[in-house]
Amino acid sequence: MFLIKLYLKNSKLEFFNFFKKLFMGILINFVKQWIAGENLEEAIERSKKLNEKGIGVILNFLGEELKDKKSVEETVEEYFRMIELLKKENINGYLSVKLTQLGLNIDEKYCFENLKKIAWKCFKNSKMLWIDMESSDYTQKTIDIYLKIFRLYKNVGLCIQSYLKRSENDVKRLLKKRGIIRLVKGAYKESEKVVFKKKEEINKNFLKIMKILFKRSKNYFAIATHDEKLIKEAIKLSKKYKKNFEFEMLFGVRERLKPLILKQGFKLKVYVPYGKDWIPYVLRRIREKPSYLIFAFKSIFI
């Protein structure tokens, strides 16, 4: 009797483990449409393939809201390794960091020192460094830190979100300092006190800010969207104002649109995130395209 019970218990466990493995396998496959892998070497291989197609890359090591110095220091080391490998493998690519992965939640000065180390190494290796924009809790601090680092290193750019009501003024202020801007719509869950909630309002503000960039920017800038209407508007503006700009898109999103942009002779970079800490990033991608989740569930259970 005891042996039968033990056998049933073990087979239940095996059954459970089998389904756990199957579920995790499907989940990882689902996630891998948006991330280049779990380590830098995988991201570099993906970057080489994108470069072969004429697409530049912007590598990001996944991780945000870090609360302990050990994780922050490991992240800084990872970015150092990234710069070295980009150089060694002759990759057409830059970096993008989040300030909360460099210690913004621990101490602002500490975060700035970490950013400075990365910006210096990028500068030495002729690499551009982008700073991602996170939730509105960090907007002011991120802009302040950007302006401070930009005084030291001119190879640093900042992401600005068109869903934020304040962004038009921020962009005007940044342009006065010749700041480098990447314009996106914005990906965080925010209150209507600070953001436009309706798609039309976000798009209208994107167009407005994009026009400001084309008219006033004396520096390089990036239009980062997969929205075909806005891309067409950018192309029109680029014919009127001869500016140094590029289009940017996310890894795994709107793959058929990318070659069309290249064909018309525009520069295109793809944001390539990698790492084990992919949950917040993937959740933001799912929020943009919830139908993917239904598709993933169907592929698991049906």
Ligand X SMILES: Cc1cc2nc3c(=O)[nH]c(=O)nc-3n(C[C@H](O)[C@H](O)[C@H](O)COP(=O)(O)OP(=O)(O)OC[C@H]3O[C@@H](n4cnc5c(N)ncnc54)[C@H](O)[C@@H]3O)c2cc1C
Q: What would the two tokens of residue 173 be? A: 């202020």
Active site residue 166: no
Closest approach of ligand X to the CB of residue 193, in Å: 17
Q: Which is nearer to ligand X, 271 or 278 (CB)?
A: 271
Catalytic residue among 46, 182, 227, 285: 182
For ligand X, which is the closer residue by CB, 83 or 231? 231
Q: Is 164 in the site for ligand X (CB under 6 A)?
A: no
Query: Considering beta carbons, is residue 12 or 198 the nearer one to ligand X?
Result: 198
CB atoms within 10 A of CB 190: 17
The answer to whether 110 and 138 are in contact (CB under 8 A) is no
The binder of ligand X chosen from 289, 293, 295, 299 (CB under 6 A): 289
43 part of the interface to ligand X, by CB under 6 A: no
159 and 130 Cβ atoms separated by less than 8 Å: yes
146, 196, 271, 274: which one binds ligand X (CB under 6 A) = 271
245 touches ligand X by CB under 6 A: no
The verdict on 278 binding ligand X (CB under 6 A) reads no
Tokens 């006065």 locate to 176
Selected binder of ligand X within 36, 224, 234, 272 (CB under 6 A): 224
Tokens 């917040």 belong to which residue?
Answer: 280
CB of 6 to ligand X, least distance (A): 47
Segment interacting with ligand X (CB under 6 A) among 44-52, 83-91, 115-123, 282-290: 282-290
Complex with ligand X: residue 7 or 186, whichever CB lies closer:
186
182 is catalytic: yes
Q: Which range, of 46-54, 147-155, 179-187, 231-239, touches ligand X by CB under 6 A?
A: 179-187
Considering only residues 246 to 265 of the shown chain, the ones binding ligand X according to CB under 6 A are 248-250, 253-254
Quick one: which segment of 37-45, 105-113, 147-155, 243-251 binds ligand X (CB under 6 A)? 243-251
Residues involved in catalysis: 132, 182
